[in-house]
Amino acid sequence: MPGLLLGDEFPNFEADTTVGRIKFHDFLGNSWGILFSHPRDFTPVCTTELACAARISNEFKKRGVKMIALSIDSVEDHRNWSKDVMAFNSDAESALPFPIIADDKRELSVQLGMLDPDERDKDGLPLTARCVFVVGPDKKLKLSILYPATTGRNFDELLRVIDSLQLTAQKKVATPVDWKPGDKVMVIPSLSEAEAAALFPNGVTTKEVPSGKKYLRYTQP
């Protein structure tokens, strides 16, 4: 069964969080959003991940992206563990700068395909995997990534993909391998040469290849 697909409207779920009960679409407002799940509170890799997310939360804010985490633990556990996360950052006086959803009944985790069958709690129930969903201001799913519980994510890479998503939402370009903001981008294949020339006043350069096909077109956005 395919789960949520790119372009699908993200469910407007209701959930208890560390900042009270939310309806997801109201929580997002007109912003972009990133929902990232972790397997369990009070575990090592999750602590390093959420601490990193907290340290760079201003970078998400700058990009107009609202952050929210999720695991199958209770609000009370989330609140207690948040203090460990901030202490790990040597910033124990500050609050975690984003809420955490308490999916202790695993309802959302099942609905959104977030469980990792290989990692289970003491009762044999699966833990949440490390899911990432990026949702646009139109509430549609723009990106999903799924890591197993045993592999921590790279939050700098998540900022990089958000930069790409936000750029490509505005301009008819695609970002090549290892692209970073400021680098050249590629003109999307569906644009004709005339359309590309009109849309990109900085010019379009085409790399010659043995096939003679002119598909490797770069521009500076």
Contact string (CB under 6 A) for ligand BEZ, positions 33-72, x = contact? ------xx--xxxx--------------------------
| Alpha-carbon span 134 to 11, nearest angstrom | 13
Smallest distance, Å, CB 59 to ligand BEZ? Answer: 23
Q: Which DSSP state fits 140?
A: B
Beta strands in 54-125 (DSSP E): 65-71, 100-102, 115-120
* CB nearer ligand BEZ, residue 145 or residue 188: 145
* CB nearer ligand BEZ, residue 40 or residue 66: 40
Tell me, yes or no, if 52 is annotated catalytic: no
H/E run at residue 149: none
* CB nearer ligand BEZ, residue 40 or residue 63: 40
* CB nearer ligand BEZ, residue 118 or residue 156: 118
User: In the window 140-159, what residues touch ligand BEZ (CB under 6 A)?
Assistant: 149-150
Smallest distance, Å, CB 119 to ligand BEZ? Answer: 5
| Alpha-carbon span 80 to 85, nearest angstrom | 9
| Alpha-carbon span 207 to 215, nearest angstrom | 8
| First-residue to last-residue Cα distance in the chain | 38
Is 94 a binding residue for ligand BEZ by CB under 6 A? The answer is no
Q: Which residues are paired to 135 by β-bridges?
A: 33, 141
The per-residue DSSP string of 150-178 comes to TS---HHHHHHHHHHHHHHHHSSEE--TT
Among 54, 127, 129, 196, binds ligand BEZ (CB under 6 A): 127
Is 119 a binding residue for ligand BEZ by CB under 6 A? The answer is yes
| Residue in 15, 28, 46, 53 annotated catalytic | 46
Residues at the contact surface with ligand BEZ, assessed by CB under 6 A: 39-40, 43-46, 119, 127, 149-150
User: Which residue numbers are catalytic?
Assistant: 46
